[in-house]
Amino acid sequence: MGAIFLIFNGCILLKKEGASKTNLVSLSLGVSVLAFYVVTFYYLTSETKVFNVNTLSNVIFVIAVYSYLIFCTAFIAFMLYSFIYLTVPNKKIYDFIIVHGAGLRDGEYVTPLLRQRIEKAVEAYLNSSNPYIKIIVSGGQGPDEKISEAQAMANYIESRTSVPIDRVILEDKSTTTYENLLFSKALGKKLVDNPKFLFVTNNYHVYRTSAYARKIKMDGDGLGCRTAGYYIPSAFIREFIAACVKIKWAFVVLYTLLFIFLFVI
């Protein structure tokens, strides 16, 4: 059922967002998982001696099953950790709210996804008990953009919200999530001693952003905003892949153990 859901979701995503490498993630994974199920069914119902690893096809099958179990376990753990992180309430008083940038529509206007981040940040700003809190809009100008993402967000805040524009700080040099945090932290430290940050992004993106915050020793917490349902599976899978890359040494150890086992037997 999981494979069918991913394929169905991938088709919806392509229809709504258009074809791109990132939008093909859900569909590609669904097809791969379905193919794995078909091959597994064949091996378990045919006369092939599945556990006789003396043949290349059986070695490949064992590796595929091993990989499936490892990544399924890791994915479940990743989902649980992300859910717990998002549901644990934060009671801190923050000095700055960072809004992570994203691609712009027509090179100068915020997209629905980015608008959700801004509105979540504005909500946090209005509910803050710190009268001096400020919003840092963070994002540089891409090669296909007419203005920086920070400027586009500032324009939206000025024209569409009640937040005074003098409470908005532009960080318009960053090009990655890591740089969003790093450069925003530097701006905050120029204005406040030991600043506390609340960084706002989409809920699927909070885990990785939080990992970067810990890496640069930022005193901050993540706040996730709502994401269109059809977009979540693909985005969450991409975040999972990024998390796996960060701990690739663990997978190297696991696969080393497998190959030692195959070599011994």
As a whole number of angstroms, the distance between CA 31 and CA 8 comes to 10
Question: How do strand 109-110 and strand 104-105 relate by DSSP bridges?
Answer: antiparallel
User: Rounded to an integer, what distance in angstroms lies between the CA atom of residue 211 and that of residue 135?
Assistant: 21
Based on its alpha-carbon atoms, the radius of gyration of the chain, rounded to whole angstroms, reads: 22
Please report the pLDDT score of residue 17 as a whole number: 62
Domains in the chain: ranges and CATH: 2-87+242-264 (no CATH), 96-227 (3.40.50.620)
pLDDT given for residue 208 in this prediction:
80
pTM score over 0.75: no
Confidence (pLDDT) at 37: 84
> Do strands 134-138 and 109-110 pair parallel, antiparallel, or not at all (unpaired)?
unpaired
Tell me what pLDDT residue 187 has.
96
Distance CA 209, CA 152 (A): 21
pLDDT for the residue 180:
95
- Dist CA 100 CA 106 (whole Å): 19
Please answer whether residues 142 and 150 qualify as being in contact, where contact means their C-beta atoms are separated by less than 8 angstroms. Answer: no
Q: What is the pLDDT along the chain (265 residues), one digit of tens a residue?
A: 667 877 777 677 666 666 666 667 777 888 888 888 888 887 777 765 555 555 777 788 888 889 989 988 888 888 777 777 666 556 688 999 999 998 888 888 998 888 989 999 999 999 999 999 999 999 999 888 899 999 999 999 999 999 999 999 999 999 999 999 999 999 999 999 999 999 998 877 787 888 889 899 999 888 887 766 666 777 778 778 888 888 889 999 999 998 888 777 6
Q: What is the pLDDT of residue 51?
A: 52
